[in-house]
Structure 1
Amino acid sequence: MTQVTSAHGKADGSGLPQVPSIPLADDRAIAAAGEQSIGHLVKDATAHLSTLVRAEVELAKSEVTKEVKKGIKGSVFFIIALTVLLYSSFFLFFALAEMVADFGVLRSIAFGGVFVLMLLVAVLFTFLGFRKLKSLRAPERTIASVKDTAAALTHRGDQQS
């Protein structure tokens, strides 16, 4: 079998990994075409189909892996930004408590009130998060499609009469 890569990969090993492929022309098959039986041709076709399916799965895996890695690298910057934002929010709430204290409220009551406000916001977003997580479902269309494909490949000889 020959080894090929996608347009993003190089044959020297850098880029995407090599995946098996079906050769466009097999010299042995052309030379022995008159000598092969139907069973041997079916065996070759099945082997080529199996190789094709494995190559497609391998290509999909390598492309998805590449995209996931890029996504993870990009999300690191968002995580850093979120961390800085969370630490800086301390100063916002501290300033809010001082502002409330400037209106004549005792400092301890002002800071306690801001703390209770922060707890209420945290409880609200926790509730919204749980509500969103409860709506998650399995990918039913994908599961059904895979089952249909498996059934079609398993029972492909049963339909011939």
Structure 2
Amino acid sequence: MVPRHPERGPVIRSQLAATGITVQCRSESQVVNADTRLYIADTLGELKTLMQHADLVVMGGSFIPHGGQNLLEPATFGKAIIVGPFMENFAEETASLLAHEAILQVHSVEEACGQIEALLSHPQTGQQLGMAAQRFMKARRHIAQQYLDELTQRLSGVGVTFK
């Protein structure tokens, strides 16, 4: 679990530990062991490293009406991604990834739990989703360069140059 606000990690750990789940926190230098059921990555600058080891990614912020979360980073890493119903700030990206069968969108936390169980039980399905997401992202790598070229051309047209 990667909380949007890392300082909330210890509070989240306490709440989850009260349910009987064995939880470890990165900020407390706790080590993952065989009993760990949930690892809270409540530090900054390590998401890329941590995500590389994930089997799947659930965009938790997409289950509350706050616009969703950026799903392009886990797509770049080729991870199976589950999003909830609230992806308004990333509607175009979500629609495109759905059209390419590269993510799963669910309508409730309960439905997400069922999909998580299914993906963990059938890792090939998750791998197929992840590969589709990664292909989607690779096919769009050129877009940033196109924007830069267009911007450079327009700015040079009004006398702005770059060294």
Structure 1 and Structure 2 fold alike (TM over 0.5):
no
* Structure number with higher strand proportion: 2
Structure index of larger Rg:
1
* Greater RCO (Cα-Cα under 8 Å, separation 6 or more): 2
* Structure number with higher helix proportion: 1
What TM-score results when the alignment is normalised by the length of structure 1? 0.27
